[in-house]
Amino acid sequence: MAVTLAPASVWAASAASGTSAAPSSSPHSQPHPASRAGPGANSRRVIPVNASLGERIYINNCAVCHGDKGAGAMWTQATFNPPPRKFASLQSREELTRERMINSVTYGRPDTAMMPFGSRLSDTEIAAVVDHIRATFMSDKAIAEAAAAASAGNSGAMPPHGHGAAGEKAEIPKPKPAPIVDADMSLPFPGNLAGDGAKGRDFYMANCFTCHGKAGDGEGPRSTFIRPKPRNFLHPDSRRTLNRPALFKAISNGKIGTVMPAWGKVLNDQEIADVAEFVFQEFIRPSPQKKKVSGN
């Protein structure tokens, strides 16, 4: 059944209860559902041809949060409390019996981002993905490698300043607030691109409003569970700093340590300029008569 569920739709189901407008509604052609924009968009995942059922299910449904190495994807560390468990640790292996894992995957874990998969995956599929995790991330070898990486100060999936020692409760890294320096708001886009704000509006209303809100206030339907919160474009700090080059760069690269996707993976420069132009004109520097056009 739902073995090809894309990470973006998984995310939408978990965090956007009640919203149907996930980034997957993008009109842009994309090679494979698993590479759609979304929190998982920062890493395109390729499914090896000879992948087992369990591995395929893991890549399609779990890697977006649990990471390619089962240590927790980097973006989740600042977003979820608790973050996904690191499978490769002695403590996980002690606590996570096969039965408990099957139970957690089927019914989810209350009050955490770990959602129930019982209605999307069959019993066979759930057993297969659990066995894949146990064989791949909870083996003696995987645990030894994770411990070695952690003691070398690098746990793989964690940002360099994270404290990812195996088995410890990970401290949630806080993105440093950028110093506020007034930007030159007249600067153009790189490469002298001219953005088309009307096209950008369509894209924004399909892909960005879920987090940033229709009014650009950072209060979109998905924003509730997101930490740090999506950027409020109406905030004075945004209006002092987010000129066209800054918008272009932020949208293209995304923001490490937050769920802000790197749209440069799915949009070309012109399309980024279009949506950036919309944000600039609509929220950052609205002309006075435009101010009340978009309500939430």
Q: List residues near ligand HEC by CB under 6 A.
A: 10-11, 14, 23, 39, 61-62, 64-66, 80, 82-85, 96, 100-101, 104-105, 109, 112-114, 117, 129, 133, 175, 204, 207-208, 210-212, 222, 226, 228, 230-231, 242, 247, 250-251, 255, 258-261, 263, 275, 279
| Alpha carbons 163 and 105: distance in angstroms, whole number | 26
Adjacent-strand bridge partners of 171: 163
**Nearer of residues 42 and 104 to ligand HEC, judged by Cβ:** 104
Q: How far is Cα of residue 220 from the mean position of the Cα atoms in its chain?
A: 15
Alpha helices in 113-259 (DSSP H): 123-137, 140-151, 197-207, 209-212, 236-241, 244-253
**Nearer of residues 153 and 168 to ligand HEC, judged by Cβ:** 168
| Alpha carbons 114 and 89: distance in angstroms, whole number | 19
Q: Both ends of the chain: CA-CA distance in Å?
A: 37
Hey, how many other C-beta atoms are within 10 angstroms of the C-beta on 14? 18
Phi/psi region, residue 254 (left: phi>0; alpha: psi -120 to 50; beta: rest), is: left
In the block, tokens 């759930």 appear at 126
**Nearer of residues 95 and 153 to ligand HEC, judged by Cβ:** 95
**Nearer of residues 95 and 148 to ligand HEC, judged by Cβ:** 95
**Nearer of residues 101 and 149 to ligand HEC, judged by Cβ:** 101
| Alpha carbons 188 and 184: distance in angstroms, whole number | 10
